[in-house]
Structure 1
Amino acid sequence: MRLFLERGFEETTLDDIATAADVSRRSLFHYFASKEEIVFSTKADFPDLIAQAIGRRPAEEPLLDMVENALVDLATRFQSAETRALAKLIHDTPALSAGDQAKYEKVERVLAKALADRKGLPETDIACRVTAAAAIGILKLATEAWLAGADAGPEIFGKAAFAALRDVVG
């Protein structure tokens, strides 16, 4: 990741990575099929982190509050300069941003299931699915605001976005 952040994604070769990791290029391919996979491996646990954050919320909490509080909790825990730099690299690199969108789809499915599980509802529950879809939309907007240089962390934008959503549906 250091090489990607220092040189840029396109400028960093697999040979550079293998050399920095002190492994052969062949060994590198044993673990990762592409440079994109190397970058996304750093975020592989994100769906599980969201599911765990939902699991820590009180079961009686309303769905929208549950997901907002879980996402705010995660956002406040993951705001290091390195996290921001990695998110910016992914956002600004076309080869990575497409894969990032696929990640959001997976996270939405995991979030909907976690909400349903926490509420004791079927995995296909429409309220859980709609809540997850709205929450992931807000997560994407909050991340974009954070990367665009917003003064506050993504949790501040996220709270404002959830408040706006409540006003719209209220």
Structure 2
Amino acid sequence: MSESVGLRGRKRAKTHSLIQSEAMRLFVERGFDATTLDDIAVAADVSRRTLFHYFGSKEEIVFSTKSDFPDLIAEAVRKRPVSEPLLDMAENALRDLATHYQSAEARGLARLIHDTPSLRAGDQAKFEKVEHTLAIALADRKGLPANDIACRVTAAAAIGMLKLSIEAWLSEDDGGSVEFGMAAFAALRKVLGGVV
């Protein structure tokens, strides 16, 4: 029984991954709006009904590729020294995480979202979840209440820096998001210190 469940689970994961990868390939090649769900089903060699068993919309397919991002941020925070100040902890966790998202594939996904208004709106909702997750992870790492205001403010600032860094990454040919992020955090520290 458990062997058939395992096989079924592997087949399901393989089909999910195939639909996702074929959809992303088509979105990058043709554009999000020009790609239909039928196009995706044909490319993945599944029926439209099967596609809907896995994904309810094209938007859902795109955002499924980023579904693990909040967990990755929380894990990056857990790896930071507990003695680090909150802002340093958030900055360093994001910088550590950025190394996983510097690929051409990640940049293509970011560009697709940036250039598609319907995806951009959904991405903002995802950033709210990421901000909430980061605030809780910071509080947990510091042994503070989950709704600690310093952690919430730090998370809001850090996710603001992340958004600015993504914009910089997409606007530059060499993709300097990490460097921009470091400069943005340095600028924030100057503002907080009353230097600017």
Q: Does residue 1:131 correspond to 2:154, yes or no? A: yes
Query: Alpha carbon RMSD of aligned pairs, Å?
Result: 0.8
1:106 correspondence with 2:129: yes
The aligned runs of 1:78-117 (5 Å cut-off) are 78-117=101-140
Structure 2 Cα separation of the partners of residues 80 and 160 of structure 1? 21
Q: Distance in 1 between matches of 2:173 and 2:166?
A: 10
What are the Cα deviations for residues 32-66 of structure 1, in whole angstroms up to 9, with x where unaligned?
Answer: 11000000000000000000000000111100000
Measure, in 2, the Cα distance between the counterparts of 1:58 and 1:83.
Answer: 28
Q: Does 1:46 align with 2:63?
A: no
Task: Output the CA distance in 2 between the equivalents of 1:7 and 1:150.
Answer: 22
1:10 corresponds to which residue?
Answer: 33
Q: Which amino acid aligns with 1:60?
A: S
The one of the two structures with greater contact order (alpha-carbon pairs below 8 A, sep at least 6) is 1
The reply on whether 1:153 has 2:176 as its aligned counterpart is yes
1:152–1:10 Cα change, 3 Å: closer
Alignment-mate amino acid for residue 34 of structure 2: E
Q: Give the TM-score normalised by the residue count of structure 2.
A: 0.85
One-letter code of the match for 1:89?
L
How far the C-alpha of 1:91 sits from its partner, in A, is 0.6
CA shift for structure 1 position 153: 2.5
Runs of 4+ with >2 A deviation: 150-153
Q: Any conservation in 2 of the 1:79–1:153 contact (CA below 8 Å)? A: no
Shift of 1:2: 0.5
Task: Give the CA deviation at 1:77.
Answer: 2.3
What count of residue pairs does the alignment treat as equivalent? 170
User: Greater Rg, structure 1 or structure 2?
Assistant: 2
| Residue in 2 that maps onto 1:56 | 79
